[in-house]
Structure 1
Amino acid sequence: MASRFLTLADVKEALNVSAAQAYALVRSGDLPAIQVGGRGQWRVEATALEDYIQRMYAQTRARIDAGTLDERE
Structure 2
Amino acid sequence: MNDSNDPGSLGRFLTLADTAEILNVSASQAYALVRSGELPAIKVGGHGHWRIERAVLESYIEAKYEETRRMGLWNQAEYASLAEYSFDHNRTTRS
Q: TM-score, normalised by structure 1?
A: 0.88
Larger-Rg structure: 2
Runs of 4+ in structure 1 over 3 Å off: none
Q: CA RMSD in A?
A: 1.1
List gaps (5 residues or longer) in structure 1: 69-73
Q: How many residues align structurally?
A: 68
- Alignment partner of 1:16 out of 24, 29, 32: 24
- Alignment partner of 2:55 out of 31, 47, 55: 47
Using CA pairs under 8 Å that are at least 6 residues apart, name the structure with larger relative contact order, 1 or 2. Answer: 1
Q: Deviations over 1:25-48 (max 9, x none)?
A: 101111110001111100000000
Q: Deviations over 1:14-68 (max 9, x none)?
A: 0000111100110111111000111110000000000000000000000110117
List gaps (5 residues or longer) in structure 2: 1-6, 77-95
The sequence identity of aligned pairs, in percent, is: 59
Q: TM-score, normalised by structure 2?
A: 0.68
| Matched residue, 1:66 | 74
